[in-house]
Structure 1
Amino acid sequence: MLREMGLGPVWKLRAPTSSAAADEPGDSVAPVAQVAEMPPAAPSPATAAMDWSALAANVAACRQCGLCEARKLAVLGVGDRNADWLFVGEGPGAEEDQRGEPFVGQAGKLLDSMLAAIGLKRGEDVYIANAVKCRPPGNRTPTPEETATCWPYLERQIELIRPKLIVALGRPAAQTLLRTEIKIGAARGKCFDYRGIPVVVSYHPAYLLRTPLDKARAWEDLCFMRHTMKALKAP
């Protein structure tokens, strides 16, 4: 991963750069950043009562927006359902649509390397989901209307998992979780709040594949989220 990012031969946990260190918390979680919030999504009592089986069945059968028309498989998520870490992307791509699992293409390989860099592994104390559960045509960015329609499913996943930390990967995930139009550059290196759960923001792996110069910043974000979790678990 570090080799792919131009930061070294392999992904190994190491001391962060001086710029990364400036963003890291010490023994406590960083102060919660304030954002100008958009109106909250409408509540969904039916979804709020679902267990994992019912949630999976409803996502698989969902036809509440146009994304269902071209999908092959809806993609609920994958991983440890009691995880401390929840990573949220934007939506399934072509390979995810075929296999029914998030982050299985090149972006998924990059995400796995990023996880390994901070001592994590897919499926072990990690859950991975997306803001929308069906592939947007042509892998385009999901619209605000599409993420709003799919929001009750992600909301219920968070309630069932009860993670210690949420990592929003990319702008659609960040804006969906934080109910704000904040940009990634302004959100990095800060802790936000989602119903008492800290949220940190970083780049989507697909973006990093297209924009390799920002991979160094992604490493800073990994250092920040690792130290945030360490502070959350401190006695």
Structure 2
Amino acid sequence: MSDPTRFDLDDRQRAMLAEMGVRVWWPPTAHESVQAEPVQTPAMTQAPSVPRPQRPAASATSSEQKATAATPSGVASKPLPEGVSNMDWDSLQAAVKACQSCALSAARQTPVWGAAAAQADWMVVGDLPLPEDDQQGLPFTGPEGVLLDNMLKAVGVRRQGLPPAQGQAPWVEAYLTCAVKCRPPAGRNPEATELAVCAGYLSRQVALAQPKVILAMGRFAIQSLLGSTEPMGKLRGTVHDFQGVPVVVTYHPTNLLRTPADKAKAWADLVLALKVAQA
């Protein structure tokens, strides 16, 4: 009897994991020697069982109310536009581009809205726009974007809007965005009030995208979605909840590039997210 929790890897997924820098063990194929010794690594080749979603202590419906908090002193600000919770994609994008509700609007180059605007099975939420993101107005560009693309491809997922290769079955698509829409000056950490402003926009993006799973990458994405400042180690491996959507937390690609040893943990998180999306 086959193991229902097993995640078998095809040649494409093995190649993508190699691009991630993650080595995993798999049983020998018909072309491989049965006597071959398995590679011993900390990476997982079995999907963990899907835990019951854990709801955050604070209600996600309060995002717009939080966004009315005062911005740092001396900075002119405006409240979020009325009706954010009822906006369509076009109206929401226009609101983000014109937003002046916190101090970050004064220093940004281009608000990082998201990659495409449509429903998707996966939603990937990062922390802050990277320098390249700030220039292009797109999330997860540069080396971090390359790593993320390889991570997603390893589980049959890719960012929204890319045409399938000729003769290739359609991929599961992921809607990509950032918790903070404007890059803070010099990449500093966002203030709590700045996170609260963008939480109103993020909440509406989730409602419009209607994902089956949200992958929260990094502590500010986690804080925006779950209202939690717990260490990553206490939040990983558990399915959380945001507006009724399962949330799996993992490391941001920037951290994975800085600490490659954590890629094996990120692989386990991806497999958990895949199990949730397929449930």
Instruction: Identify whether the pair has TM-score above 0.5, normalized to the shorter chain.
Output: yes
Q: Secondary structure at the match of 2:51?
A: coil
- Structure 1 window deviating more from structure 2 (157-166 vs 72-81): it is 72-81
Residue 24 (structure 2) pairs with residue 24 (structure 1): no
Aligned pair partner of 2:89 in 45, 48, 52: 52
Alpha-carbon shift at residue 142 of structure 1 (Å): 2.0
Aligned position for 1:74: 111
Give the Cα–Cα distance (whole angstroms) in 2 for the partners of residues 153 and 14 of structure 1. 42
Alpha-carbon shift at residue 112 of structure 1 (Å): 0.4
Alpha-carbon shift at residue 22 of structure 1 (Å): 7.2
TM-score by length of 1: 0.86
Give the Cα–Cα distance (whole angstroms) in 1 for the partners of residues 227 and 56 of structure 2. 9
Give the Cα–Cα distance (whole angstroms) in 1 for the partners of residues 135 and 26 of structure 2. 37
Residue 239 (structure 2) pairs with residue 202 (structure 1): no
1:216 alignment partner AA: A
Give the Cα–Cα distance (whole angstroms) in 2 for the partners of residues 173 and 99 of structure 1. 20
Residue 192 (structure 2) pairs with residue 144 (structure 1): yes
Alpha-carbon shift at residue 58 of structure 1 (Å): 0.9
Q: Deviations over 1:138-176 (max 9, x none)?
A: 223322221101111111111111111111001111111
Aligned pair partner of 1:63 in 100, 114, 121: 100
Give the Cα–Cα distance (whole angstroms) in 2 for the partners of residues 78 and 51 of structure 1. 16
1:119 alignment partner AA: G
1:130 alignment partner AA: C
1:127-206, aligned counterparts within 5 Å? 127-206=175-254
Q: Secondary structure at the match of 2:249?
A: strand
Give the Cα–Cα distance (whole angstroms) in 1 for the partners of residues 46 and 136 of structure 2. 40
Give the Cα–Cα distance (whole angstroms) in 2 for the partners of residues 80 and 153 of structure 1. 13
Aligned position for 1:119: 156
Aligned position for 1:218: 266
Aligned length: 224
Contact 1:80–1:126, Cα closer than 8 Å, also in 2: no
- Structure 1 window deviating more from structure 2 (121-130 vs 110-119): it is 121-130
Give the Cα–Cα distance (whole angstroms) in 1 for the partners of residues 64 and 138 of structure 2. 27
Q: Which runs of 5+ in 2 are unaligned?
A: 1-15, 28-40, 66-79, 161-171
Q: Deviations over 1:10-37 (max 9, x none)?
A: xx9968x787367612xxx421235544
Give the Cα–Cα distance (whole angstroms) in 2 for the partners of residues 101 and 19 of structure 1. 31
* Structure ranking higher in helix proportion: 1
Contact 1:81–1:160, Cα closer than 8 Å, also in 2: yes
TM-score by length of 2: 0.73
Q: Secondary structure at the match of 1:125?
A: strand
Structure 1 residues 56 and 13, CA gap change in structure 2 (3 angstroms)? farther
Identity %: 43
Contact 1:111–1:205, Cα closer than 8 Å, also in 2: yes
Q: Deviations over 1:116-154 (max 9, x none)?
A: 010011115210011111011222332222110111111
Aligned position for 1:41: 63
Contact 1:167–1:202, Cα closer than 8 Å, also in 2: yes
Contact 1:164–1:198, Cα closer than 8 Å, also in 2: yes
Give the Cα–Cα distance (whole angstroms) in 2 for the partners of residues 83 and 6 of structure 1. 27
Give the Cα–Cα distance (whole angstroms) in 2 for the partners of residues 139 and 204 of structure 1. 15
Give the Cα–Cα distance (whole angstroms) in 2 for the partners of residues 33 and 65 of structure 1. 31
